């Protein structure tokens, strides 16, 4: 458990002085707490996102009931679309977890109305929802906001569409009607037809925030859907179609590569989505009151965050939070020193990011510290060493951006050291290799720390690289990347 986190200032002195919480040592896989005889037949009510609730949470619910020792586990439709119960039997008693997957906003409404124990969301809680739930505690706290998986908002077209990549602005132009024929973008002479999620959907909220960006309006003839899968299936049958769904619902449609201002076009592939570098990556959440009335709510979420449950995330088609080693970075852009690092080391599927406008590790990063600690303590990884690489944004001068990016990496290094994990000296590459635009939200995304793994046999190569590393010069000052 986290003991505390203390925000450090944006200045170099403040960053250097920052102290991060220590985490508990590696723990065994979390198991479900036993069912008590006095418990209600309905163990949990879970409402909200269709993206999270269509398959992911039901799968976890089945596994959870199985972990409780239940038999005859089945899924029962409740007579309303996207509402069902996962049922099981224990000692002659029937128990159930009720799930209603009508959109992220409905989950928060149910928490407010006290008709749900957990809210599923495919976007972060909004200010007005935080205010409405203030009586329950801070809904943005680590105890309330749980990142449970990563998804990529896939922009999908008909499989025969010859266009393979688009910028976010081009996607916005297509959905707003400014582009009405694929020929305008170099495609076939086919009219554009548009498919979008409905207004209750967190997927729609994410699309509106990341793509339309308050600059565009959705074209009025766009067809709207509650279900990701139904939308995707119709796009796969329509030559002129464009739509957007979660990664798990691409199905027979074609997902295309997306670029943001100043960044390379990326497909929604595992590494790019896991590290949240893919421009339309997003987090999937479960929310609960910081001090839940039903203790089983927290138990269920901890179960969902365990390694075995996270493997289910990948099976379903999302991207899990379990660390995964990528054999060579697929994007070796940036300074020569960074390209050389990519040839020596392997990238881990963890990026550490910070709260907006803050130098405090965000809620995913806090949990990822423990994941990385557990990963490094495995016997199979005993010959690996961690190289932390920080990045910033273009707001500062190149020299200051490099300095601040190294200090961000140092903050992660400090948290790892407190848990008995040593690292190689940190590196900072400033504002190079942006993964998002330089707007406020994009700057936060660019302020990140990558994790690279170096085998002990390659430490000499790393030492040589650091001796030859490029410098950024200004006046009499010289600041090294390493």
The pLDDT tens digits for 366-393 are 999 999 999 999 999 999 999 999 998 7
Can you give the pLDDT at residue 416? 97
The answer to whether 391 and 430 are in contact (CB under 8 A) is yes
Domain 154-274 part of CATH 3.40.50.1100: no
- Say if 42-147+284-305 and 154-274 have the same CATH topology: yes
Query: Quick one: fold of 42-147+284-305?
Result: D-Maltodextrin-Binding Protein; domain 2 (3.40.190)
CATH of domain 323-480: 3.30.1330.60
The pLDDT tens digits for 130-174 are 999 999 999 999 999 999 999 989 999 999 999 999 999 999 999
**Percent of the chain scoring above 90 in pLDDT:** 69
Write out the E strands in 70-197.
Answer: 71-77, 83-90, 93-100, 118-121, 145-152, 154-157, 165-167, 193-197
Beta-sheet pairing, 477-480 with 471-474: antiparallel
CA distances from 468 to 319, 346, 406 (A): 37, 20, 18
Q: Where are the domains of the chain?
A: 42-147+284-305, 154-274, 323-480
| Of residues 256, 162, 260, the one with CA closest to residue 211 | 260
Q: How far apart are CA 278 and CA 260, in angstroms?
A: 9
Can you give the pLDDT at residue 201? 87
The pLDDT tens digits for 428-469 are 998 888 887 766 566 788 899 999 999 999 999 999 998 887
b/e burial code for range 19-50 (CB count within 10 A of at least 16 → b)? ebbbbeeeeeebebeebeeeeeeebbbbbbbb
Q: Which residues contact 339 (CB under 8 A, 6 or more apart)?
A: 332, 333
CB-neighbour burial class of residue 473 (10 A; exposed 0-12, middle 13-18, buried 19+): exposed
The pLDDT tens digits for 202-253 are 889 889 988 998 899 999 999 999 999 999 999 999 999 999 999 889 999 9
Can you give the pLDDT at residue 436? 79
The pLDDT tens digits for 108-121 are 999 999 999 999 99
The pTM for the full model equals 0.83
Higher pLDDT, 195 or 32: 195
Top mean pLDDT of 6-15, 314-323, 349-358 is at: 314-323
Q: Which residues contact 420 (CB under 8 A, 6 or more apart)?
A: 25, 373
| Of residues 8, 28, 32, the one with CA closest to residue 19 | 8
């Amino acid at each position: 458990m986290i003991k505390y986190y203390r925000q450090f200032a944006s200045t170099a002195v403040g960053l250097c002085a920052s102290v991060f919480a220590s985490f508990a040592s590696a723990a065994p896989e979390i198991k479900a707490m036993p069912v008590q005889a006095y418990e209600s037949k309905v163990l949990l009510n879970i409402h909200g996102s269709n993206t999270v609730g269509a398959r992911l949470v039901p799968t976890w619910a089945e596994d959870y009931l199985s972990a409780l020792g239940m038999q005859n586990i089945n899924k029962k439709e409740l007579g309303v679309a996207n509402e069902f119960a996962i049922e099981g039997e224990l000692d002659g008693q029937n128990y159930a977890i009720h799930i209603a997957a009508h959109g992220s906003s409905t989950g928060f409404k149910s928490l407010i109305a006290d008709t749900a124990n957990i809210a599923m969301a495919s976007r972060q809680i909004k200010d007005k929802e935080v205010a409405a739930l203030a009586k329950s505690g801070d809904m943005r706290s680590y105890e309330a906001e749980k990142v449970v998986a990563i998804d990529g908002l896939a922009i999908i077209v008909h499989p025969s569409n010859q266009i393979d990549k688009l910028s976010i602005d081009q996607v916005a132009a297509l959905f707003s009607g400014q582009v009405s024929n694929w020929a305008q973008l170099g495609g076939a002479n086919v009219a554009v037809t548009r498919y979008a999620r409905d207004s209750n959907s967190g997927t729609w909220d994410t699309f509106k925030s990341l793509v339309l960006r308050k600059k565009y309006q959705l074209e009025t003839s766009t067809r709207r859907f509650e279900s990701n899968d139904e939308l995707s299936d119709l796009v796969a049958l329509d030559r002129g179609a464009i739509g957007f769904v979660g990664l798990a619902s691409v199905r027979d449609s074609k997902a295309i590569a997306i670029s943001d201002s100043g960044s390379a076009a990326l497909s929604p592939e595992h590494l790019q989505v896991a590290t949240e570098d893919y421009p339309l990556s997003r987090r999937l959440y479960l929310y609960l009151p910081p001090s839940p009335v039903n203790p089983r709510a927290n138990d269920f979420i901890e179960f969902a965050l365990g390694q075995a449950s996270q493997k289910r995330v990948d099976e379903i088609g999302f991207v899990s939070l379990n660390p995964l080693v990528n054999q060579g970075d697929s994007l070796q852009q940036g300074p020569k020193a960074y390209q050389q690092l990519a040839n020596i080391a392997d990238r881990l599927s963890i990026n550490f990011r910070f709260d907006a406008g803050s130098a405090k590790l965000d809620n995913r990063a806090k949990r990822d510290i423990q994941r990385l600690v557990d990963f490094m303590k495995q016997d199979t990884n005993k010959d690996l060493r961690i190289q932390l690489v920080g990045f910033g944004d273009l707001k500062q001068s190149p020299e200051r951006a490099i300095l601040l990016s190294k200090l961000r990496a140092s903050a992660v290094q400090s948290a790892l050291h407190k848990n008995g994990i040593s690292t190689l000296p940190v590196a900072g590459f400033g504002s190079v290799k942006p993964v998002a635009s330089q707007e406020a939200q994009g700057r936060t995304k660019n302020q990140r720390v990558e994790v690279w793994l170096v085998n002990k046999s390659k430490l000499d190569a790393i030492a040589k690289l650091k001796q030859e590393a490029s410098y950024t010069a200004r006046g009499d000052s010289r600041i090294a990347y390493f």
